[in-house]
Amino acid sequence: MRPVGGCSGNQALQDRFAANPSLGSSPSPTTTVSPTPTPETTGPDTPTTPEPTPTATFSTGTFSDLDKVGDRQREEIEDLAQLDIVQAKTSQEFAPQSNISRGEFARWLFQANNVFFANQPSKQIRPAPSNATPLFTDVPPTHPDFAQIQGLADAGLIPSSLTNDPTASQFRPDAPLTREDLVRWKVPLDQRRALPNASLENIKETWGFQDAAKINPNIWPALAADFQNGDQANLKRVFGYITIFQPQRPVTRGEAASALWFLGVQTDGLSAKDVINAPASPSPGVEPTVTPDTVNPDTPGNSPN
């Protein structure tokens, strides 16, 4: 089952809706007093008819090559495409079986979080300003994903010098995303709390991975927390039942989309489908118009005292 989360991402979706058209006025005929055309004017008594308000729409999210994946993953990809979280790789092809780069997944992860929680600023990730000092030597401010990658690093969600990781001077945005990367970056956004302590024995006892000894110890806490998420664990949703983790195996674009389709834990989570189906709510700061009651002196009971 896919739980329905209690959060709404509808504010960000409204930003993609077409703006309401202005009310049009039906012109009344005017008398021409000379051969020179006279601009049309609208009389005070001419009724105006508002044009129909357009229906809220999303991107079609249609790709030509999703017949290569199962029904569930196809739906997940299309849902994320409707929310403009994922994009085609070439023309109309999503390329679900192609490897995803670290830079592209960082952009998707940043976008997914902020779209899902568009009306909850406390859960959003702030993009890095263009004048920020780069944390990675290979992601300068001119890099197209600088704001997202550095924003994730500023939030402590990916390893950098801010997390005292001596090996993180480079981000390697064009390198393939590995399964270790996926778990290490995604799980903290699901949990939104300190990850539990974990040991190699704990990983062996819970996940039962035959290759547990090959897993980076820095990933153990994220793996332990993901296991506690039951059927909503990223590894279970994305890879199904596995007894070998293959920590350095590249993640495909389809697998990355499946991971991002749901954010949160079993008791407090939100799926892309929840965001799409969320009811519209009034824009913040817009107060409803209140029409004061008019007292008619001729109406019984309304005569002034």
Can you give the pLDDT at residue 275?
96
Ramachandran angles phi, psi of 48, nearest 5°: -110, 140
With a cut of 90, say whether residue 19 has pLDDT above it.
no
Whole-angstrom CA distances from 125 to 65, 87, 111, 152 are: 32, 20, 9, 7
Can you give the pLDDT at residue 107?
98
With a cut of 60, say whether residue 47 has pLDDT above it.
no
Residue with the bigger pLDDT between 56 and 174: it is 174
Which of the four pLDDT bands, split at 50, 70 and 90, describes residue 279? confident
Percent of the chain with pLDDT over 90: 67
Buried b (16+ CB within 10 A) or exposed e, 126-164: ebbeeeeebbbeebeeebebbbbbbbbbbbebbbbeeee
With a cut of 90, say whether residue 289 has pLDDT above it.
no
CA separation for the pair 189, 113 (Å, rounded): 8
Beta strand residue intervals within the chain, DSSP E: 262-265, 268-271
Closest CA to 61 of 271, 293, 250, 273: 273
- Give me the residue label for tokens 């995303």: 177
pLDDT tens track for 250-266: 999 999 999 999 999 99
126 and 151 in contact (C-beta within 8 Å)?
A: yes
Ramachandran angles phi, psi of 277, nearest 5°: -90, 0
